[in-house]
Structure 1
Amino acid sequence: MEELLYISALIVAVAVGLLVIYIIKTLKSTSKALEQTTATVDALKKQIDGITAESKLLLEKSNALADDIQRKSDAVDVVFESAKDLGHSMKSFNQSVRVVSTKVSDQTSRNAETVSQAVQWGQAVLDFYTKYKQRKQQLERKTTEEEL
């Protein structure tokens, strides 16, 4: 029976040895995985630091651009205010022209008969002058013919 006890102890020793070997292999594998994970985390940290720096620069540029846009927008507001004032002035001018036009139209309507009579008188004077010139020319021709 002692032999059986030695064989059992040998089997247990071999099993413990195999278990230790597998545990060592597992620990080595885990150690390699942890080293790779550490390397990956370090690389990610470097990349994140780079991204953070670039993001900071981008944010600063964006803020500068927003300030520039605000300044230019304020400058353009003055132009739009001037255009608005010009529009009001043009509206006022148009209303004044309408009022004057209406007054002229009303005055013209009131004086239409007088103007018509003046045109008729003008036409009569023009006709009289034309006939006067024709008679004068006829008389001059007659006088010239008689002298010849």
Structure 2
Amino acid sequence: MEVILYLSVALLALAFAILVYFVAQTLKSVQKTLLNVSRTMDRVQQQMQGVTHETTELIHKTNKMADDAYEKSQHLNSVFQSVESLGDSVKKVNSSVDTITDTVKSKSEKHSEQIARVMQWGEAAIDLWGKWKVRNPESSNSVRGRNTGDE
């Protein structure tokens, strides 16, 4: 029975030694992994610092561009107001032209009969002048001579 006890203690010591060996191997592996993680974290931190710096510069440039765009839009407001004012003026001119056109149209419609009479009288006068000219060719030459100063 003693032998079994010694064998049990020896087996227990062997099992403990094997356990210690594998725990040591695991700890070495964990140490290497943590070292790699540490190096990776250092690289990530350096890259993040670079990205942070670039992002800060980009934000400053974006803010400058936004300020510039705002200033330019403020300057354009006066241009748009001028264009709007010009549009209003053109509308007023168009309205005035429409009013004048309507007035001329209504006046011409009112006086169209009188204009037709004047046209008839004008045609009659031209016909009479032509007939008179044909009948009295000598008197028309002397009238022309007096008017032009050929004598």
Instruction: Specify the TM-score bucket, using the shorter chain as the normaliser.
Output: 0.7 to 0.9
CA-to-aligned-CA distance 1:71-128 (integer Å, 9 cap, x gap) = 2222222221111111111111111112222222222222222222211111111011
The correspondence of residues 35-114 of structure 1 with structure 2, limited to 5 A, is: 35-114=35-114
2:131 aligns with 131
Distance (whole Å) between structure 2 residues aligned to residue 67 and residue 54 of structure 1: 20
In the alignment, structure 1 segments of 5+ residues that lack a partner are 140-148
CA distance in 1, matches of 2:112, 2:3: 151
Equivalent position amino acid for 1:106 in 2: S
User: Which string of whole-angstrom CA distances, capped at 9 and with x for unpartnered residues, describes residues 115-145 of structure 1?
Assistant: 2221111111101111122223499xxxxxx
Q: What's the RMSD between the two structures over aligned residues?
A: 2.2
- Higher RCO structure, 1 or 2 (CA under 8 Å, sep 6+): 2
> How many angstroms apart in 2 are the aligned matches of 1:19 and 1:112?
126
Deviates more, 1:31-40 or 1:69-78: 69-78
Tell me how far 1:2 sits from its aligned partner: 4.4
> Within 5 A, what are the aligned runs for 1:112-127?
112-127=112-127
Percent pairwise identity: 35
The TM-score normalised by the length of structure 1 is 0.83
Matching residue's letter, 1:58: L
User: How many residues are paired up?
Assistant: 140
- For normalisation by structure 2, the TM-score amounts to 0.81
Structure-2 separation of matches of 1:104 and 1:5: 136
Query: Within 1, Cα distance between the matches of 2:5 and 2:63?
Result: 83
In 1, distance between residues paired with 2:17 and 2:136?
157
Within 5 Å, give how 1:28-39 maps onto structure 2: 28-39=28-39
